[in-house]
Structure 1
Amino acid sequence: MKRGLIILLLAVAASTAAFFITRNQCQCGTRLDATSHDGETMLPELEWLHQELKLDDAQFEKVKALHLAYKPTCEAMCMEVVAARKKLSHLASQGNLSTPELDAALQEQAAVHVECQKALLRHLQQTAGLMTEAQARQYLDAMLPQVIGVAAEPVSHGH
């Protein structure tokens, strides 16, 4: 009995942590409050990239195109995260926290979060590939802690 309770508590803790990690990642479709000079919808972080990383115009156009191409994937992932969260919440609210259905919902939510993170990591790698080595290092140093959910620590590059 103790083992089952410990496993359940660990699963709940892991899903809670995953919720907070992906809550900020998967808001692609809800933060459309910046527009480019040509009226195209873009996310605020694109302007940060352009200015903070000192991207030239050609780099910025490629980054913007890649970002906008990723947007439908991000939005689809967001919908999956929300659906998994709602399902888990509904099952948990029924009071019995040790059912096979709840266990399956926890597994489903964890799998969705993993897929979301993997897709976002691929997108970050593609974006960094459009930059100089120094720009890419600065970009990844800023973004990776947000994506993998760790405290902001410098990323080691073998130094």
Structure 2
Amino acid sequence: MKRGLIILLLAVTASTAAFFITRNQCQCGTRLDTTSHDGETMLPELEWLHQELKLDDAQFEKVKALHLAYKPTCEAMCMKVMAARKMLSHLASQGNLSTPEFDAALQEQAAVHVECQKALLRHLHQTAGVMSKTQARQYLDAMLPQVIGSAESVGHGH
């Protein structure tokens, strides 16, 4: 679940459909894929979104603008996630899981996760707002399970 959040945050930089998220799982912090953050090519996943949802040129321009506007937020969230994970990992490796510091690190990681999900959900709905109702439904049906998880995945990983 934690690894999925990092993957999701980077993939959603492009606010794409689930196809690209599950296909290209880059990890922030370990590398920044310049092709995934290249403002000039507008990313392969945006082209996929353009084709899959049959966005017209005006819609696609708006989606690109939203993507570029959200990119700094996504990268900032990614850095927060990495910092929270690093602190939690450090404390967990020390073995004493009953300290106030460990509890605080767990709380911080949870708070960062909530902050990321809220920002991402706002972005997804903002992006869907430039689409027709049918396109928006298709987009959200593909993206929301990636952000929130699906009912089928509940309980896995425990």
Unaligned runs of 5+ in 2: none
> Which structure has the larger Rg?
1
Over 3 Å counting, the alpha-carbon distance change for 1:4 and 1:120 in structure 2 is closer
Partner residue, 1:154 = 153
SS of the equivalent of 1:79 reads helix
Q: Deviations over 1:107-152 (max 9, x none)?
A: 0000000000000000001000000000000000000000012x27
> Relative contact order (alpha carbons < 8 A, sep ≥ 6): 1 or 2 greater?
2
Shift of 1:44: 3.2
Over 3 Å counting, the alpha-carbon distance change for 1:94 and 1:21 in structure 2 is farther
SS of the equivalent of 2:136 reads helix
Measured on the aligned residues, the alpha-carbon RMSD in Å equals 10.3
Shift of 1:55: 0.3
Partner residue, 2:102 = 102
SS of the equivalent of 1:104 reads helix
Over 3 Å counting, the alpha-carbon distance change for 1:26 and 1:9 in structure 2 is closer
Range that drifts further, 29-38 or 133-142: 29-38
Over 3 Å counting, the alpha-carbon distance change for 1:134 and 1:7 in structure 2 is closer
After TM superposition, the score normalised by the length of structure 2 is 0.72
- Answer whether contact 2:87 2:105 (CA < 8 A) is retained: yes
Separation in structure 1 between the aligned mates of residue 146 and residue 81 of structure 2, nearest angstrom: 17
Shift of 1:97: 1.1
Unaligned runs of 5+ in 1: none
SS of the equivalent of 1:28 reads coil
Shift of 1:2: 26
Separation in structure 2 between the aligned mates of residue 31 and residue 100 of structure 1, nearest angstrom: 33
Shift of 1:75: 0.1
- Answer whether contact 1:59 1:130 (CA < 8 A) is retained: yes
Separation in structure 1 between the aligned mates of residue 92 and residue 28 of structure 2, nearest angstrom: 27
- Answer whether contact 2:84 2:109 (CA < 8 A) is retained: yes
- Answer whether contact 1:22 1:113 (CA < 8 A) is retained: no
Over 3 Å counting, the alpha-carbon distance change for 1:88 and 1:99 in structure 2 is same
After TM superposition, the score normalised by the length of structure 1 is 0.72
SS of the equivalent of 2:152 reads coil
Q: Taking every aligned residue pair, what percent have the same amino acid on both sides? A: 91
Over 3 Å counting, the alpha-carbon distance change for 1:157 and 1:133 in structure 2 is farther
Number of corresponding residues? 158
Partner residue, 1:7 = 7
Range that drifts further, 19-28 or 90-99: 19-28
Over 3 Å counting, the alpha-carbon distance change for 1:61 and 1:124 in structure 2 is same
